[in-house]
Amino acid sequence: MFTFTTLASGSGGNAALVSCGNTHILLDAGISAKRITAGLHALGVAPHQLSAILLTHEHSDHVSGLRVLTKKAGAPIYATHPTCQEWYRKNRCDQVNDLFRPQKAGVGVQIGALWAVPFPTPHDAAGSVGWSIASASGRMVLCTDLGHVTEEVRQAVAGCDLLVCEANHDAGWVRSGPYPYYLKQRILGDYGHLSNEAGAELAAFAVEYGTKQVILAHLSQQNNTPVRAYETAARRLLAMGCNPERDISLAVAPRDETGPTYCLKEAAVC
């Protein structure tokens, strides 16, 4: 069975587990190793059973638990070469550095029963990528932390069974909120984060190409709510004739706790 579960998803930290049989991949490690370990144990997986850790980029909300977690896990860490270099520059930990397996965007790697391919994402981080992960029974795509949707992103998303899609903020709330000007510009810029509307467009594109499960992710704590993100995406899907309560599975990943486990090809929560 090919499954996906978020352990946390938001501006405060991100981590998720992809499993297929005895293959277990951790996607990002942006919460404490203690929380990651607890989340894994709740899913029946111990840290030493991880087959690999895949990183999207080196920002703290995606790597903050990595150093401590590797003491328990010891799994190879796949990330782009710029991400590996930047992480080491900031942390100077040889134990983690020895586990890095630099991966070029667009080049896949076989990890047990799963085939993982990173694809470039436009974000203000070194070598930022999303991940496409496939098994014999389906394919999922993690696509968060990007300021706009590129052709490479569309190509990676098209035809996937499950899409984890960024819906970071309500653009109007960011503009009218208390953030300093430079931070507003970063969030709203081409190398920032997708708004609810932009995320909804990407979700609609994916559904048009056959996606049956969409999980809205990486929501801002200050500039978004799960209801706001869901309603924006639902309206866009309804406009294209897709009922999100009947035709597909549309959900929002919890920010600070483990979410439901989704089974690919079954279009349902396990």
Q: Which helix (H) or strand (E) holds 68?
A: helix 66-72
Low-confidence ranges of the chain (pLDDT < 50): none
Tokens of 223: 């500039």
Q: Name the token pair of 60.
A: 């703290």
Are 44 and 20 a contacting pair, CB within 8 Å? no
Tokens 């840290």 — which residue? 47
Tokens of 221: 């704590």
Which helix (DSSP H) or strand (DSSP E) does residue 214 occupy? strand 213-217
DSSP string, 99-159: TEEE--TT--EEETTEEEEEEE---SSTT-EEEEEEETTEEEEEE-S-SS--HHHHHHHTT
What's this model's pTM, rounded to 2 decimal places?
Answer: 0.96
Cα three-residue angle 162-122-212, rounded to 5 degrees: 10
pLDDT at 267: 55
3-state secondary structure of 65: coil
Nearest to 77 by CA among 25, 34, 112, 4: 25
Q: Residue 172 carries which DSSP code?
A: H
Q: Provide the token pair at 187.
A: 């969030």
Q: What is the reported pLDDT for 77?
A: 98
Whole-number pLDDT of residue 265: 74
Q: pLDDT tens, 211-265? A: 999 999 999 999 999 999 999 999 999 999 999 989 999 999 999 999 999 998 7
pLDDT at 269: 72
> Tell me, what's the pLDDT at 270?
67
Task: Check residue 181 and give its pLDDT.
Answer: 97
- Residue 74's pLDDT is 92
Which of 59, 50, 63 lies closest to 17 in space, CA to CA?
Answer: 50
For residue 129, what are the β-bridge partners?
A: 120
